[in-house]
Chains A and B, each alone.
Chain A
Amino acid sequence: MELLNKPEQIVFQRPRALSPVRTHYCPGCNHGIIHRLIAEVIDELGVREKTIGVFPVGCSVFGYDYFEIDATEAAHGRAPAVATGIKRLQPDKVVFTYQGDGDLAAIGTAEIIHAAARGENITTIFVNNAIYGMTGGQMAPTTLVGQKTTSCQAGRDPTKMGNPLKVSELLSAIDGAAYVARVAVNTPANVARAKNAIKRAIKVQQAGLGFSLVEVLSACPVGWGLRPREALAWVTEHMIPTYPLGEFKTKEEVKVIQA
């Protein structure tokens, strides 16, 4: 009788920087995955005790309850300005903003552009789910053409409502932006790449190389009216063609920094 007795090991568990509490997010919401990746990166880089998070107005308004770090709220769209205030006073800290598409791509366009323009050494995690989740599913600047939302019920009409805003491409044009990447978390492979991008961005900040942003395509099952599994597929079929994944800006000095 062959007997292989190996003690059981934990090969996956909740990261230390993620609080052991239930989240208020909808079933299947990708915020949970993204939060976890950030927490894993914080743990792996050993920066939990010097990380300060800035959370937006949106579904993730209570994000600070889910991380074991110092954190603050910010008025809608103004997280990059709040983060600037924190980072300028405490340059040794790791400062990140976590923003949705209303927060960053609508009301907060000035703040994100100018934080990038000034080359602020902060990292922005931009969660793009093509909709306004918290307020019940209205059109966002990132809503796709033809996509139906509660405030464009016949589908987004570009002649009246414009075309979706491509934030990563837009910010890449700014000199102060050192690292800009777009990722998704709809498949395990994409989740792994997303984590690498986030890690790289934080390392860019630590090296003082300028502004970094990771745009994460994210499923919103309730907003889109899809089951979570279908919502992940929708990211593949509809979002990625409009918002291609990749690294849009990697300054020369950033190239040596690997995740």
Chain B
Amino acid sequence: MFVTGKILAGVLPKEVEHKMARIVVDEDRCKGCEICVSVCPKRVIELADHFNRQGYRPARMVKARAVVPALVGGGMAEESAAAAKSRSENECNGCTLCARMCPDVAITVYR
């Protein structure tokens, strides 16, 4: 899904999905080796908190950050800029480096 939208001042949705690409990790295959985590140039991969059936913490994309609108005027503009900046830094661009390094071929990449 590839959606861009201009954010109208004063109106901020709870979550904006800015995804050019995404990965899907097959939890059952992942062994939590963290090679993908270390190789992702965008740092959008982390290990989950739960364990899979083999007892490993599988890798997953970091959750998109929820954007909370400031209630007080003036603070919103700063937050939204900061939030927008951090969102753009944490975007999967479908480079497939994670998938190419994954020893378990657990990652499928969509773009």
Contacts and interface: CB of A to CB of B under 8 A. Distances in A.
Chain A directly contacts chain B within the complex, with at least one CB pair under 8 Å: yes
A27 B33 contact: yes
Contacts of A33: 100-103
A228 B33 contact: yes
B6 A1 contact: yes
A29 interface: yes
Nearest to A21: B29
Interface string A151-195: 000000000000000000000000000000000000010011000
Chain B facing A: main interface SS: loop
Given A11-B94, A23-B104, A32-B105, A4 B3 contact: yes
B4 A8 contact: no
Interface stretch (A12-20, A78-86, A126-134): A12-20
Contacts of A32: 102-105
B101 A188 contact: yes
Q: How large is the interface on B (under 10, 10 to 19, 20 to 34, 35 or more residues)?
A: 20 to 34
Interface in B78-108: 94, 96-97, 99-105, 107-108
A122 to B, nearest CB: 25
Contacts of B111: 8-9, 11
A8 B110 contact: yes
A228 B100 contact: no
Report the contact-size class of chain A (Cβ under 8 Å from the partner): 35 or more
Interface stretch (B9-17, B34-42, B68-76): B34-42
Interface in A228-250: 228-229, 232
Contacts of A12: 96, 99-100, 107-109
Interface of A: 1-6, 8-15, 18, 22-23, 25-33, 36, 188, 191-192, 221, 227-229, 232
Given A12-B99, A188-B101, 16 more contacts: A2-B6, A3-B3, A4-B3, A8-B111, A11-B109, A11-B110, A12-B109, A14-B108, A22-B54, A27-B56, A29-B103, A188-B100, A191-B100, A191-B101, A221-B33, A232-B38
